[in-house]
């Protein structure tokens, strides 16, 4: 059977996403999509609902609903933007920071086991993945 890297990457990503969702729901009571939202707010500067929607590739109403749930769970602080308008500022609460740190560590440990079992050196795989992501961003071929 002929292999296609684009297909293999899709399948790998889908499997990783499903596994992460199962783990996060069982161990932390949060879905992978909500974990990603918290991670983008905490680590990657998605400080408004609009910025978070862009990062997640979803609509602002969808993010508004998600952030309301995360705020109700005590993981996210949602405040009106001091500059006015309808914009909302997003910050992780201490509880949100703790969840992101613990969940990230657990997911990373499990991925390291999978990578090691495959015989691929973890550091090399991480470097190649980072190079692919950077090149993708730079070239915008598949956007």
Chain segment 5-32, per-residue pLDDT in tens: 889 989 999 999 999 999 999 999 999 9
Residue 143 has pLDDT above 80, yes or no: no
Q: Which residues contact 75 (CB under 8 A, 6 or more apart)?
A: 30, 38, 92, 93, 95, 96, 99
Question: Is the Cβ–Cβ distance between 52 and 41 less than 8 Å?
Answer: yes
Write down the H helix ranges in 58-143: 60-72, 94-118, 122-139
Q: How far apart are CA 98 and CA 24, in angstroms?
A: 14
Q: Domains of the chain, with CATH numbers? A: 5-139 (1.10.10.10)
What is the mean predicted confidence (pLDDT) over 69-78? 95
pTM, rounded to two decimals: 0.85
Question: Is the Cβ–Cβ distance between 104 and 39 less than 8 Å?
Answer: yes
Q: How far apart are CA 128 and CA 86, in angstroms?
A: 41
């Amino acid at each position: 059977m002929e292999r296609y890297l684009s297909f293999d990457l899709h399948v790998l990503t889908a499997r990783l996403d499903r596994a992460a969702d199962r783990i996060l729901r069982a161990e932390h009571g949060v879905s992978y999509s909500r974990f990603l939202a918290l991670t983008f707010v905490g680590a990657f500067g998605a400080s408004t609902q609009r910025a978070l929607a862009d990062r997640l590739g979803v609509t602002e109403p969808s993010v508004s609903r998600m952030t309301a749930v995360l705020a109700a769970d005590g993981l996210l602080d949602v405040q009106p933007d001091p500059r006015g308008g309808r914009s909302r500022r997003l910050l992780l609460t201490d509880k949100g920071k703790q969840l992101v740190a613990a969940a990230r560590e657990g997911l990373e440990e499990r991925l390291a086991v999978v990578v090691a079992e495959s015989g691929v050196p973890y550091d090399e795989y991480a470097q190649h993945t980072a190079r692919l992501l950077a090149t993708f961003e730079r070239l915008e071929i598949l956007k």
